[in-house]
Amino acid sequence: MENFLVSARKYRPDDFKSVVGQESITTTLINSIKNQQLAHAYLFCGPRGVGKTTCARIFAKTINCENQTDDFEACNECESCKAFNDHRSYNIHELDAASNNSVEDIRNLIEQVRIPPQIGTHSVYIIDEVHMLSAQAFNAFLKTLEEPPSYAIFVLATTEKHKILPTILSRCQIFDFNRIKVKDTVEYLSYVAEKEQVEAEKDALNIIAQKSDGSMRDALSFFDQIVSFSGKKITYKATIENLNVLDYDYYFKLTDFILENKISDSLLIFDEVLENGFDGHHFITGLSTHFRDLMVCKDSVTLELLEVGSNIKQKYLKQSGSCNLFFLLKALEISNTTDLSYRGSKNKRLQVELALMKMCTITDDIEDNRKERKKLDNINNVKEAKTESAKVEEQKQEYKKPDNLQKKHTIKSSGISLTGKDEKKTETTEKTETTENRFQGNDSKIEQSDLDIAWKKLVSKFEKQHRLYNALKAKTPVMISDHTAELSVSNESLEQALIKLKSRIINFLRADLNSSEFDLSISVEEGVEKNSNHIYTDRDKYKFLVNKNPNLEKLKNDLGLEF
């Protein structure tokens, strides 16, 4: 039986051009070989599975190759290349710092560096997970790393650059490896699938690439896992089942329910997700990603940021048309807040359900905001109408000012004298009266029933001010003319409080009644004593207490207190 070799090892790059997603780094290394400008120490840092150790091995093999190609790649035919490929090269040494991190291990390495290469020109020392070295080991390594023999080159690799001592960093050329893009991972997986004669759906490979989180090694491991599960045909359904990935359809259906304010259906979707064994935190982070993807679909410029398969992409484009930017931003804010507070919550399921219920009310909030803006527009229109009325009245008063001509009841216009009431008016006067009549026509008589409805709306605005709310609720103004109402209150304190709020009350009622002429008079009911001893306000309480204890006045003054 033939020994099985995992894809991560079988398809590990053996030259620079086959390295995926690190073009800037491989180009720099090739140019350094081409120009014979090799540094004595390199530091390769970046996430797992992005090619740090692979590039270090290719670099070591290439600089020792006896017959480099025209594009400065290893020939794989000379004795040095064959020795490397057969894992018997004495020029290339690999050390795992995770298990060899003591001062004694570094001393053994330093002794080994003194031996020159037997074949080739350079001895290359590749130290993996170099951040695992102890501080004492780093210090023991400093001198050799700074001034090694001319034939020695060190390549240090790490996933945690921040743990490396600054004195080590200053002695190395630093190369930062990037996470491999989803697009590049999918292309390489397609190449591997073709070599392995595996039929794979693009959407399935895209899921593998996203799950690998930029690591090619993880992507190839997932690929092998799914091939073992489903055979020579990799489907989208088999992939999400095997990798425990939530189906996109859940998020598409859930978003439709949220847009339609269907709280019950949204909660049932979440319950189904939990029944299938998925974690609530995984669900809410996936929902955040879904809203983010819908957001980037709103603009053709950001559409390239959508890293999904072609079939799924069409679904995103279609649903994004139903979502406005305000809804997506609000939904993202809610899901992100839930994500941050999820781990600290004792009732985690309720956290997610509460977030879904909030999302289902976003469209209602949008409609309420629209109505509120419309109402504000109406108020502004009333204010503008009032301003126009004032201007007309001003013009009328200006026209009625007495002068020598008006005393004789004579108006001169264009050299013609018009005398008496039966004469024709001037053109300016006609325009003024026309404007006045048109504006007065908008302010019809206010009915008591309309005022009662508007007053109830006003009273609800003062619900948190209990005393004022109860007083206003008990009394309703009475229309005493077409546009004037009178409100009788029970005491002088309440009268003073309402007088301070009078302009606010009148503006609200004018807007609600759509009448710029409405006015309100406030008075104390007849038969009620002005200086009543009833206590209604905080100031009344204070006066009552001062009468009982005059020292309270002195205490207020000493402390500098004011109402």
Share of the chain above pLDDT 70, in %: 83
- The answer to which of 46-50, 161-165, 247-251, 368-372 has the lowest mean pLDDT is 368-372
| Segment 536-561, tens digit of pLDDT | 567 777 787 888 788 888 888 877 77
CA atoms of 106 and 127, how far apart (whole Å): 11
Specify whether the CB–CB gap between 128 and 94 falls below 8 A.
yes
Q: So what's the pLDDT on residue 355? A: 93
Q: 157, 176, 195 — which closes off a domain?
A: 176
Same domain? For 47 and 97 the reply is yes
Count of CB atoms situated within 10 Å of the CB of 18? 15
CA atoms of 87 and 103, how far apart (whole Å): 27
Nearest Cα to 141, choosing from 91, 94, 100, 107?
Answer: 107
User: Mean of the pLDDT values across residues 165-176?
Assistant: 91
Q: 387, 416, 440 — which closes off a domain?
A: 440
Specify whether the CB–CB gap between 248 and 207 falls below 8 A.
no
User: The domain that contains 207 carries what CATH number?
Assistant: 1.10.8.60
Q: So what's the pLDDT on residue 172? A: 92
Cite the DSSP H helix spans in 157-262. 166-169, 182-195, 202-212, 216-230, 236-242, 248-259
User: The domain that contains 356 carries what CATH number?
Assistant: 1.20.272.10
Give the amino acid at 142.
Answer: L
Residue 537 in domain: no
268 has a pLDDT exceeding 80: yes
Same domain? For 264 and 231 the reply is no
CA distances from residue 226 to 206, 351, 561 in whole angstroms, order as listed = 13, 34, 76
452 has a pLDDT exceeding 80: yes
- The answer to which of 30-34, 176-180, 341-345, 460-464 has the lowest mean pLDDT is 460-464
User: Mean of the pLDDT values across residues 149-154?
Assistant: 92
* Residue with the two structure tokens 């080739």: 120
Nearest Cα to 478, choosing from 511, 522, 510?
Answer: 522
Residue 65 in domain: yes
Nearest Cα to 273, choosing from 245, 309, 294?
Answer: 245
Residue 281 in domain: yes
User: Mean of the pLDDT values across residues 146-175?
Assistant: 91
CA atoms of 295 and 321, how far apart (whole Å): 10
Please report which helix (H) or strand (E) contains residue 523, including its range. strand 519-524
3-state class (DSSP) for residue 8: helix
- Decide the pairing of beta strands 416-419 and 410-413: antiparallel
Count of CB atoms situated within 10 Å of the CB of 541? 11
Residue 516 in domain: yes
Structural domain boundaries enclosing 390: 375-440
Selected residue with higher pLDDT from 248 and 465: 248
Same domain? For 435 and 454 the reply is no
Same domain? For 160 and 11 the reply is yes
CA distances from residue 61 to 18, 122, 341 in whole angstroms, order as listed = 15, 10, 50
CA atoms of 400 and 334, how far apart (whole Å): 64
Residue 63's contacts (CB-CB under 8 Å, 6 or more residues apart) are 33, 38, 121, 122, 124, 153
The strand pairing partners of 411, in sequence order, are 418
Count of CB atoms situated within 10 Å of the CB of 352? 24
| Cα Rg, the chain, nearest whole Å | 42
3-state class (DSSP) for residue 198: coil
How many structural domains are present in the chain? Answer: 5
* Residue with the two structure tokens 């074949």: 119
- The answer to which of 4-13, 25-34, 354-363 has the lowest mean pLDDT is 4-13
Nearest Cα to 266, choosing from 339, 195, 193, 363?
Answer: 363
DSSP string covering 123-182 = EEEEEETGGGS-HHHHHHHHHHHHS--TTEEEEEEES-GGGS-HHHHTTSEEEEPPPPPH
* Residue with the two structure tokens 């997610």: 352
Q: What string of H, E and C letters represents the secondary structure of 449-469?
A: HHHHHHHHHHHHCCCCCHHHH
- The answer to which of 32-36, 237-241, 435-439, 496-500 has the lowest mean pLDDT is 435-439
Same domain? For 406 and 481 the reply is no
Same domain? For 214 and 69 the reply is no
Same domain? For 135 and 41 the reply is yes
Residue 553 in domain: no
Count of CB atoms situated within 10 Å of the CB of 216? 28
Q: So what's the pLDDT on residue 423? A: 41
Give the amino acid at 264.
Answer: S
User: Mean of the pLDDT values across residues 328-332?
Assistant: 92
Q: Which two tokens stand for residue 258?
A: 């949220």
Specify whether the CB–CB gap between 152 and 122 falls below 8 A.
yes
Selected residue with higher pLDDT from 451 and 529: 451
Q: So what's the pLDDT on residue 126? A: 93
Same domain? For 317 and 227 the reply is no
Please report which helix (H) or strand (E) contains residue 45, including its range. strand 41-45
Q: So what's the pLDDT on residue 383? A: 61
CA atoms of 469 and 450, how far apart (whole Å): 20
CA atoms of 323 and 187, how far apart (whole Å): 32
Q: CA triplet 210, 215, 218: central angle to 5 degrees?
A: 85
Eight-state DSSP code of residue 436: H
Same domain? For 236 and 254 the reply is no
Q: CA triplet 345, 349, 354: central angle to 5 degrees?
A: 90
3-state class (DSSP) for residue 3: coil
| Segment 499-508, tens digit of pLDDT | 888 888 888 8
Residue 92 in domain: yes
Q: Which two tokens stand for residue 291?
A: 């809203």
The strand pairing partners of 520, in sequence order, are 485
Residue 555 in domain: no
Q: So what's the pLDDT on residue 270? A: 92
User: Mean of the pLDDT values across residues 426-439?
Assistant: 41
pLDDT band for position 407 (50/70/90)? Answer: very low
Same domain? For 277 and 401 the reply is no
* Residue with the two structure tokens 């609600």: 512
Same domain? For 168 and 57 the reply is yes
CA atoms of 539 and 532, how far apart (whole Å): 14
CA distances from residue 11 to 5, 22, 50 in whole angstroms, order as listed = 10, 16, 14
CA atoms of 191 and 277, how far apart (whole Å): 33
Specify whether the CB–CB gap between 149 and 116 falls below 8 A.
yes
Same domain? For 355 and 390 the reply is no
pLDDT band for position 436 (50/70/90)? Answer: very low
- The answer to which of 70-84, 160-174, 374-388, 533-547 has the lowest mean pLDDT is 374-388
Q: State the chain's mean pLDDT as an integer.
A: 81
Nearest Cα to 51, choosing from 204, 220, 206?
Answer: 220
Half-sphere CA count of 61, side-chain side, radius 13 A: 26
User: Mean of the pLDDT values across residues 47-72?
Assistant: 90
For CA atoms 393, 398, 403, 409, the dihedral sign is negative
